[in-house]
Amino acid sequence: MDTITQLVTIAAVVLGGLTTYATNQLMERSKRKDGLRLRWDEKKLDAYADYVGLVRTSIHIAVLLYEVREEIRQMPRTEHELSMELTEASGAQARAFERIMLLAGDEVIEAAHAVQENLAAIGWQARGLVDGTLADWRALHTGAFKAINRFHEAARADLGVRGRFEGEQHTARGLLLPGARSADEASGQI
């Protein structure tokens, strides 16, 4: 073999080695990026699920408090005990909201703010801080569940989940409120 052939062979081996090294580096970098994205998506999913769960817990306790305060339901727990439970649940839910603020994108954060506003209104009426009829109470819950559904949509989009759920039928399914006791309550007269 002459010198030129040997140099071409060595150059080809070096070029092949460099190409293999560069390809492996790019693949490893891509794997690390995907792993990091997956890890953050898992944290987001956990944060979103925890938040919605704590929102639902707060709403449930608010309903119990409202029903006891309005004498719609008799329970072994007092109005004070339920009010304290609601305070604790609201604190846990507020901490979960802060996780959303740290992990989520703008659309999810805006949707979570709407949930927070609706949840605060429910808590105020449940505690008797604002007056309202049973119809007003139902409207607050309808607004809250619409806000929760918007949060779900934004969170799903943020996580890259395909498919949608929309519509009034889905929102109405979330209402776990007592029926009106009289025709006046149903029309909002009381």
Q: What is the pLDDT of residue 190?
A: 44
- What is the percentage of the chain residues whose pLDDT exceeds 70? 81
Q: What is the C-alpha to C-alpha distance for residues 42 and 157, in angstroms, rounded to an integer?
A: 14
- What is the percentage of the chain residues whose pLDDT exceeds 90? 51
Instruction: Quickly list DSSP for 137-178.
Output: HHHHHHHHHHHHHHHHHHHHHHHT------SHHHHHHT---P
Reported residue count of the chain is: 190
**What value does the CA radius of gyration of the chain take, rounded to a whole number of Å?**
28
Query: Which fold does the domain 40-187 belong to in CATH?
Result: Four Helix Bundle (Hemerythrin (Met), subunit A) (1.20.120)
Q: What is the pLDDT of residue 73?
A: 85
Q: What is the C-alpha to C-alpha distance for residues 112 and 118, in angstroms, rounded to an integer?
A: 10
- Taking only the tens place, the pLDDT of each residue in 63-88 is 999 999 998 888 898 999 999 999 99
